[in-house]
């Protein structure tokens, strides 16, 4: 009979395309993993993997087998989570994905509240870009993820809990007079520095400002908001950042000026995304309450 472990080992090989790495990921010996997968193929009567000394390939029928294996393991995981859901919220370990333009600014706020309200909780945090986290949620590799919307999440549920505006950061000496707001038309587009491709914040800014792709990052590239702020401090240009990042990024830099982006908002919406059949909804609802409380306290 095919076992859950065999299916898990097969998915580990799919992920690594390497038997030794898959064995390490599965915490078993390479020989034990190979024996288990050979037995799986024997029971199925078909070949899932093509092996040689240099690489591992997945056969066409093997791709179908692995897709079924993924669904089966997700159902088994949901069954365990259903049993866990009968306990109090956040009483079992959870893995949450958070995008880089939210994680370092939201996490310190919510962990303080979380530890006070649910001292027994245990969160594992995965920080990555939106497309990676969406795929991980779909595959069941993480329980949920915090994203900035709009972002394509077809087939997943989204639970929005916050909205925020975007602000312009510039070196004080480069602005002729103090002002409370700035429109897209007033921005020096050739001097505007944004995050590299793959960060949804860049797309949200371009959409809010109705700017074409080529309007920013002329000769510059950054993978973090902190890097962009350092560029502004170096008088290389201006940048745009989300509201929740203002305090952590700007508080120590009196030489910077912060101006609200005067374009129709909210400029981005923050939400949890999860699979429709996720069974620990009470834990997500508890986290939403914590996020709302933590973000409200900053205002």
**Structural domain boundaries in the chain:** 4-84, 94-162+268-297, 166-261
Q: What is the pLDDT of residues 226-237, one digit of tens each?
A: 999 999 999 888
Predicted confidence band at 81 (pLDDT cuts at 50, 70, 90)? Answer: low
Architecture of domain 166-261: 3-Layer(aba) Sandwich (3.40)
pTM of the predicted model, to two decimals? 0.73
The side-by-side arrangement of strands in the sheet containing 268-274 is 123-127, 94-98, 144-149, 268-274, 157-164
Give, in words, the CATH class of 4-84: mainly alpha
CATH number of 94-162+268-297: 3.40.190.10
Asked whether the domain spanning 166-261 has the same topology as the one spanning 94-162+268-297, the reply is: yes
Tens digit of pLDDT for each residue in 117-163?
Answer: 888 888 899 999 999 999 999 988 899 999 999 999 999 999 999 99
């Amino acid at each position: 009979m095919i076992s859950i472990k065999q299916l898990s080992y097969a998915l580990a090989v799919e992920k690594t395309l390497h038997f030794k790495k898959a064995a390490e990921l599965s915490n078993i010996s390479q020989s034990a993993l190979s024996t288990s997968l050979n037995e799986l193929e024997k029971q199925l009567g078909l070949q899932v993997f093509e092996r040689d000394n240099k690489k591992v390939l997945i056969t066409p029928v093997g791709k179908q087998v692995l897709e079924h294996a993924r669904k089966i393991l997700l159902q088994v995981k949901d069954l365990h989570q259903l049993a866990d859901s009968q306990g109090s919220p956040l009483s079992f370990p959870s893995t949450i994905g958070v995008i880089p333009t939210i994680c370092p600014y939201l996490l310190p706020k919510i962990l303080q509240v979380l530890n006070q309200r649910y001292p027994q909780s245990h969160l594992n945090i995965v920080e990555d870009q939106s497309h990676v986290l969406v795929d991980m949620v779909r595959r069941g590799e993480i329980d949920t993820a915090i994203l900035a919307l709009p972002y394509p999440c077809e087939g997943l549920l989204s639970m929005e809990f916050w909205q925020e505006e975007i602000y312009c950061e510039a070196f004080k000496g480069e602005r002729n007079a103090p002002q409370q707001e700035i429109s897209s038309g007033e921005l020096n587009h050739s001097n505007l520095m944004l995050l590299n491709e793959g960060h949804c914040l860049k797309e949200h800014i371009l959409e809010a400002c109705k700017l074409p792709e080529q309007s920013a990052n002329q000769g510059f590239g950054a993978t973090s908001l902190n890097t962009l702020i350092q560029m502004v401090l170096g008088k290389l240009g201006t940048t745009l950042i989300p509201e929740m990042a203002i305090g952590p990024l700007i508080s120590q830099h009196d030489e910077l000026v912060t101006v609200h982006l005067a374009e129709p908002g909210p400029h981005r919406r923050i939400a949890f995304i999860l699979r429709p059949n996720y069974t620990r909804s009470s834990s997500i609802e508890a986290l939403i309450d914590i996020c709302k409380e933590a973000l409200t306290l900053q205002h």
